[in-house]
Amino acid sequence: MNKRFILLALLLILLAACGPTTAGETAVPAATQPARPSPTSDPSLLNNNNNAPDGQGNATGYPVLPPTLPPATAPDSYPVPTPLPQPADAYPASNVPGAVWVLHAQGEQCVDPSTFKYPTEQDARAGLVAAGITVHSIETISMIVCQACNCPSGVHYRAQIDAADLAKAVALGWLEE
């Protein structure tokens, strides 16, 4: 009985989908004129200035640009606003001429912290100085890293050194920023 019911339902669906429709044919709209003129079909919307400064002579049919207003001025009685204070330099030592920034990860994830090359910022500075590198500034920053073993830790040391010492720093495993 269940198979007969399913077969009957499928047959009814087929007849409903493929049977005649009660709606008549829809009329095709006349192709005499568009309902709303486009910028290229209505000549009154075109800028016919052939000496346009853009060099195109408006051959592409762009609409006329609206007139611009003069800049607004404050009344004479309006007080002049005080200038905003300049923000502090995010990198205070960045104005050292001939210096570059280098990065070094504190270590790797899933590794014993006692095996890190530079466990602290002071150790990182000492390692650079011991290699004969002039360190102008050093800081500890947090970076977004992958969350898996063998990925660097999120803690990185960022040091500003002389550009002449960059090759030495890269040999120690530091990356130029």
pLDDT: is 11 or 106 the higher one?
106
Q: Report pLDDT digits (tens) over 89-101.
A: 665 556 677 889 9
Instruction: Assess if residue 172 is contained within a domain.
Output: yes
The residue range of the domain holding 124 is: 93-176
Instruction: Assess if residue 51 is contained within a domain.
Output: no
Whole-angstrom distance, CA of residue 57 vs CA of residue 49: 6
- Domain tally for the chain? 1
Residue 142 bridge partners (DSSP) = 155
Instruction: Assess if residue 168 is contained within a domain.
Output: yes
- 3-class DSSP string for 124-141: HHHHHHHCCCCEEEEEEE
Q: Report pLDDT digits (tens) over 37-64.
A: 565 555 655 555 555 555 455 455 566 6
Instruction: Assess if residue 74 is contained within a domain.
Output: no
Instruction: Assess if residue 101 is contained within a domain.
Output: yes
Band (pLDDT 50/70/90 cuts) for residue 133 is very high
Lowest mean pLDDT among 25-39, 40-54, 68-82, 105-119: 40-54
How many other C-beta atoms can be found within 10 angstroms of the C-beta atom of residue 101? 18
Instruction: Assess if residue 63 is contained within a domain.
Output: no
Model confidence at 136: pLDDT above 80: yes
- Cβ–Cβ < 8 Å for 118, 102: no
Instruction: Assess if residue 54 is contained within a domain.
Output: no
Instruction: Assess if residue 83 is contained within a domain.
Output: no
pTM of the predicted protein model: 0.47
Summary mean pLDDT of the chain: 78
